[in-house]
Amino acid sequence: MPDDRDVAVLGVGMHPWGKWGRNFVEYGLAAARAALADAGVSWTDIQFVSGADTIRNGYPGFISGATFSQALGWSGARVSSAYAACASGATAIAAARAQILAGLCDVALVVGADTTPKGFFAPVGGERKDDPDWLRFHLLGATNPTYFALYARRRMELFGATEDDFAAVKVKNARAGAANPNARYRQEVSVEEVLASPMVADPLRLLEICATSDGGAALVLSSMDFARRHGRSAAPVTIPAVSTVTPRFPQTVIEMPNFATDSAVAVGAVDGPAFRRSIAFAAYEEAGIGPEDVDVAEVYDLSSALELDWYEDVGLCKEGEAERLLRDGDTALGGRIPVNPSGGLSSFGEAIPAQAIAQVCELVWQLRGQAAGRQVEGARVGVTANQGLFGHGSSVIVTG
């Protein structure tokens, strides 16, 4: 792997996920302080602050980089604030990494945090008849689980996935999450309990759809040179690749919040992988590795069924083989390629701007051997995968 594209992860930190309704800045601040302490870097040494924005907490959320900087105490650091829906965290990581690789700064702080309302995510308020995110609720009653369920049902019909498979993903993730002190849900569940939970969007049940949560996550990233001079470890965990790709035309899988896909009339099918698959593969290419090199993955299980799609889209198996991987126990802790050892969104719920950062935190703990109770033994290479509304790819490779 080309070292000249590596940045070091000096520190990681999280505020536990939950549902308290407190100010999101409090969660971000706690995560930032934890990451700085983990790195052994003082706040006033941070040269660049990269915030992942939240759109549900008023103006401070839109300029989160400055908001977190103010909470830590104005230091004169340069700043960026980025919104990319679920991919906001990866976009904030990408901004910090680019600053470091360009030589514009040596050490950066990445922070994302959110406070979420109860129940289904709804669009931002007001009557906005030119906003597809507003219109899909108004004209279709299409919530986020509607889209998750469309993918799940198609998986059942095309590849023979069963309701038991979807429940088994939840059981696996709940077991891992029970061992994670930062997870919101820390109770194991049985297949029977999952299948007894209310149907929300057929075939997905309440326990198979990720909740909306409060939480915060942060990273301290630096140049390899800074890490050698100031880092606590002679061989820190590194990030050799960050993928923030967009789809390629025509995008023929229906995507939230759209009413329709692209039309493939003019150009036929896209030459190459579909969008979700292109996300991690762009990261593999940048890192000079392939999916066969991966020891552990954190993927965006907005639903239990979607985790199975990700097995294929990050290249852990061929299309249509995810159920076999699951049934063989390959993706459970102790299996050949554990997926979501953190417990995933299943155990955390979604704190949107913090989530992609939290995925990296988990991989760093895994690669350092610090994931007590859920450790993937001997993990050296990890991949995250995630996708933001409207077409923001998000994948980070972590090596250690």
Partner 1 sequence: MTGAKTRVPAVEGWFTTDADGPALLGSRCRSCGTYAFPRQTFFCGNPGCEGTEFDDVPLSRRGTVWSYTDARYTPPAPYVAADPYVPFCIAAVELAEEKMVVMGQMVPEVTVDDLAVGTEVELVVDVLYEDDDHQYLVWKWRPVAGSGGSGA
Interface with partner 1 by CB under 8 A: which residues?
119-120, 122-123, 127, 129, 134-143, 146, 149-154, 157-158, 198-204, 248-250, 252-254, 258-267
User: Cβ closer to partner 1: 294 or 389?
Assistant: 389
Q: In angstroms, give the least distance from the CB of 1 to partner 1.
A: 31
Rounded to an integer, what distance in angstroms lies between the CA atom of residue 340 and that of residue 209? 15
Asked if residues 147 and 141 have their Cβ atoms less than 8 Å apart, the reply is no
Strand partners, 107: 222
Based on CB atoms, which residue is closest to partner 1, 203 or 353? 203
| Distance between CA atoms of residues 108 and 240, nearest Å | 16
**Minimum gap (Å) between residue 214 Cβ and partner 1:** 19
Distance CA 328, CA 40 (A): 42
Specify the residue, 64 or 278, whose C-beta has the smaller distance to partner 1.
278
Using alpha carbons, select from 111, 101, 53, 54 the residue that is nearest to residue 77: 111
Output 212 or 342, the one with its CB closest to partner 1.
Answer: 212
Q: How far is the CB of 208 from partner 1 (least distance, A)?
A: 13
Q: Tell me how far, at minimum, the Cβ of 389 lies from partner 1, in Å.
A: 15
**CA angle, 218 then 81 then 353, to 5°:** 50
Q: How far is CA 45 from CA 41, 76, 105, 107, 108, in A?
A: 7, 10, 11, 8, 9
Closest to partner 1 by CB, 200 vs 325, is 200
* Closest to partner 1 by CB, 101 or 135: 135
| Burial classification of residue 158, based on how many CB atoms lie within 10 Å of its CB (0-12 exposed, 13-18 middle, 19 or more buried) | exposed
As measured in angstroms, the least distance from the Cβ of 206 to partner 1 is 9
Name the minimum Å distance from CB 117 to partner 1: 9
Q: CB within 8 A of 138, min separation 6: which ones?
A: none
Q: What is the rounded CA–CA span in Å between residue 164 and residue 391?
A: 31
Whole-number minimum distance, CB 164 to partner 1, in Å? 18
Ramachandran category for residue 130: left, alpha or beta (phi over 0 → left; psi -120 to 50 → alpha): alpha
Give 163-196 as a DSSP string. Answer: HHHHHHHHHHHHHHHTT-TT-S------HHHHHH
Please give the Cα distance from 285 to 290 (Å, whole number).
Answer: 7
Structure-token match 């309701």, residue found: 163
Write down the least CB distance from residue 263 to partner 1, Å.
Answer: 4
Nearer to partner 1, 143 or 180 (CB): 143
- Is the Cβ of residue 117 or residue 373 nearer to partner 1 in the bound state? 117
CB closer to partner 1 out of 152 and 383: 152
Residue 143 Cβ vs partner 1, minimum distance, rounded to whole Å: 5
- Residues 22, 206: Cα–Cα separation, whole Å: 25
